[in-house]
Amino acid sequence: RFSNDEVTYRADIYALACVLYECLTGAPPYRADSATTLVTAHLMDPIPQVSSQRAGIPKAFDAVIARGMAKKPEDRYASAGDFARAAHDALSDPDQDHAENILRRSRESTLPGTAVTPPPSGPGSGPLPSAPQYSPPPAYGDPIGSGPLQRQGPPSQPSWGPPASGPIPSQTPPPQSPQYFHSGSWGGTPPGGQPPTGSAAWNQGGQPPGGKRNPWPIVAAAAAVVVVLIVAGIGIWYATKPGDNHNADDTTTTSPSSTTTTTAKSSPTTTPGGSPQSKLLSMLPSGYPSGTCTPTTPKPNSVWTNTIAMLDCGQNTNQGGPSRAIYGLFPNLATLKSAFNDDIAAVQLTNCPGEGPSPDGWHYDRDPTVTAGMIACGTYKNHPNVIWSNEGKLMLSDVFGDPATLEDLHNWWAKYG
């Protein structure tokens, strides 16, 4: 889970889709050099197409993975069985037969501690016991309401905005995160020591000499593995439903004390790895629920023109938080300083509460002699406005009040910004 929202069974659907993706490609859907960027990749990055990662994978799997890993939980499959059947249907008919054989063998395998050891016998001591008979696996049923639900519209934004901030496209909320459940091992021989009869073997006849080897038994096996994982995943979910051991403090926010225009948070020397959008998202102040901030593009010749990533955010939930904010990531210090100066030029500047005239430098408590950036307070179109730069992060922030006052915004910045 990557947010404070309630976790439902659809988190398991997301996890199973990630497992299927890795079974088919041999790699996870997202890679990152840190936990932070991996989280933001799951939240923000497009869902990868599995057919483009390995030759021969049917494009039908793209739709299966896309729905299973949908960013909005309500857009995912309604049940694990529905997801498994969709993955099975994405296979060709011969591969479906292979998958069914694998599933049947897994059901016939000896469970730990239940194996029956036959008494030793010499040659000619008698016929071997016959293999037990097993019923075929049941078909998946149709779940109720398995179709996609209609998306809800984004929250409304105030009609005012930062100077020349550009058009704000429609917002698409980021996703909820998955929980991962992993099943036990499978395979083996049934009691009696004889393999079940009538099962198809991999790579059996029908392939012309010198022909290209068919890689699809591996894919069929992957689909069968997911079916087995689903059975175990559902059982685990019922045994460990969220809510019994829910921790209200799943995410921790540091709330350091501040003096005048300083904060007590340590200043990073470099931004996190990953895409610029992921970097910017990971550096936002706390208090933005999923879906509150969405990527946007700057208007030409605006103060944000040189950004390499830009986010438009709605109401911050922390005390005194802004009702709207624009955050931008810049490629270098020169473009950041230029954007800050251009931004405050359109603002009616005033003293920051308890401070001197705007603009002014600010610093971290741990480095009181090092200027970390610039800050300015004022009003823009009669709305309280605080603008600050963070030179270590190459980040410009432009936040607005109403109902928050200028003093509220400044206190919020000192604590969270």
Question: Mind giving me the DSSP string for 356-382?
Answer: -SSSEEE-BTT-TTS--EEEEEEEETT
Percentage, residues of the chain above pLDDT 90 = 31
Q: What is the mean pLDDT of the segment spanning 249-272? A: 39
408 in the same domain as 292: yes
Residue 177 lies in a domain: yes
Residue 65 lies in a domain: yes
Q: Terminus-to-terminus CA distance in the chain, angstroms?
A: 24
Give residue-wise pLDDT tens across range 154-206.
Answer: 444 554 555 544 444 444 444 444 444 444 434 444 444 454 444 444 444 44
- Indicate whether 103 pLDDT > 80: no
pLDDT at 384: 95
301 in the same domain as 220: no
Which of the two residues, 409 and 135, has the higher pLDDT score?
409
- Indicate whether 132 pLDDT > 80: no
Query: In sequence order, which residues have a C-beta less than 8 Å from that of residue 397 and are 6 or more positions away?
Result: 325, 326, 327, 387, 388, 389, 390, 417
387 in the same domain as 332: yes
CATH number of the domain residue 31 falls in: 1.10.510
232 in the same domain as 91: yes
| Domain, as residue range, for 342 | 276-416
287 in the same domain as 347: yes
pLDDT at 169: 42
Which of the two residues, 101 and 270, has the higher pLDDT score?
101
Half-sphere exposure of 46 (CA within 13 A, CB side): 4
Helix/strand/coil for 293: strand
Q: What is the mean pLDDT of the segment spanning 131-144? A: 45
338 in the same domain as 399: yes
81 in the same domain as 140: yes
Do the Cβ atoms of 61 and 90 come closer than 8 Å? Answer: yes
Residue 158 lies in a domain: yes
Q: Please count the structural domains in the chain.
A: 2
Location of structure tokens 């897994």: 106
290 in the same domain as 167: no
- Our measurement of the distance from residue 7's CA atom to the centroid of its chain's CA atoms, rounded to an integer in Å, reads 14
337 in the same domain as 217: no
- Our measurement of the distance from residue 408's CA atom to the centroid of its chain's CA atoms, rounded to an integer in Å, reads 32
pLDDT at 101: 67
Residue 125 lies in a domain: no
Residue 259 lies in a domain: no
Which of the two residues, 244 and 40, has the higher pLDDT score?
40
pLDDT at 417: 84
- Indicate whether 240 pLDDT > 60: no
388 in the same domain as 282: yes
pLDDT at 254: 34
Give residue-wise pLDDT tens across range 364-377.
Answer: 888 888 999 999 99
Q: What is the pTM of this model?
A: 0.41
166 in the same domain as 24: yes
Residue 340 lies in a domain: yes
225 in the same domain as 166: yes
> Which of 75-89, 116-130, 246-260, 336-350 has the lowest average pLDDT?
246-260
From the list 272, 266, 361, 265, the residue with the least C-alpha distance to 309 is 272
The Cα–Cα gap between 406 and 415 comes to 14
